[in-house]
Each structure stands twice: as structure tokens, then as C-alpha cells.
Amino acid sequence: MTRSPSGALTPLWLSHHFPEHYDRCAVIAGRHICRRCLVLYPLAFVVMGLGSAGVHWPPALDPIALWLLPLPAVVEFVLEHRGVLAYHPARQVLLTLPLALGLGRGFTIYLEDPASRLFWSVVVVYGGLCLAAALLRRRPEGPSV
């Protein structure tokens, strides 16, 4: 758990950000919740539910949609972590919306076929890029200790 500036504890499952990055969170009932996750997962689960009920775009569009819809959010994530872009909450939310649509359809595909090459290739490539960007994050320069 992490402490907010007010001293309240926020479990890491609600906010995987430490207090110095609480600007990336919305505060709900005194708890910090990751803004991207707050938009991403509810919308993705709605899209998954609709997709499981048969409400989705034509499956022939899946390869294009699953690769293109997350792309803007992935590019933003990588550029931000490389220090090229400054964090901007509205941009983050806007770019999370298409990501959520693609993720929700991906979840539906996964439920239908857990070994889906399409689903897992998108997860591995985009997840790998984001993981690499996070691990190789450009740190602010300052005195070394």
C-alpha cells in the first residue's frame, strides 16, 4: 500500500502509482485510482460483454482493429516514458478509449479461443514495448548518490 499526500493509504491494486505520481490518478472516496485503468477496464469489460452477446464489428476487421486501436495509447506510453512527451491527463483518457475498445474485443476473442494467435501477438508485442519503455524509463537528471 502507498500513502497519499493526505496520509491515507491507497492499496496498490487501486493505484499502481506511488505518491509522486498520484497526478496520474483520480481520487474517489479518498482513494487514488489510476486514471487510465479507471477508463480502460470498465469500458473493455462492457465491450467484452457485448461481444460475447454477439454485438461486435465483423470478425474480418479483428486483425486491423486489434492492432490499430491500441496503437495511439502504446505510442503515447512509450514516448512519455522515454521523456519525449509530458504527462497530460486528458490526452491519456482520450487515447485510452480506443485502447479499451480493442482490448474488450481482444478479451472476447480470448474467451472464444484462449490460444488465439491474434490476441496473444498483440499482447506480447504491445505489452513488450510498454514493459521495455517502463523498465528503460528516462530518469530526470540530477545529482547521483
Residues β-bridged to residue 3: 9
Instruction: Give pLDDT tens digits for 76-120.
Output: 999 999 999 999 999 999 999 999 999 999 999 999 999 999 999
Q: Which residues of 110-120 are buried (b: 16+ CB within 10 A; e: fewer)?
A: beeeeebeebb
φ, ψ (nearest 5 deg) of residue 87: -65, 140
- The pTM score is 0.85
Question: Does residue 13 carry a pLDDT above 50?
Answer: yes
Print the SS3 string covering 128-142. Answer: HHHHHHHHCCCCCCC
Question: Does residue 44 carry a pLDDT above 60?
Answer: yes
Q: Are 118 and 58 in contact (CB under 8 A)?
A: no
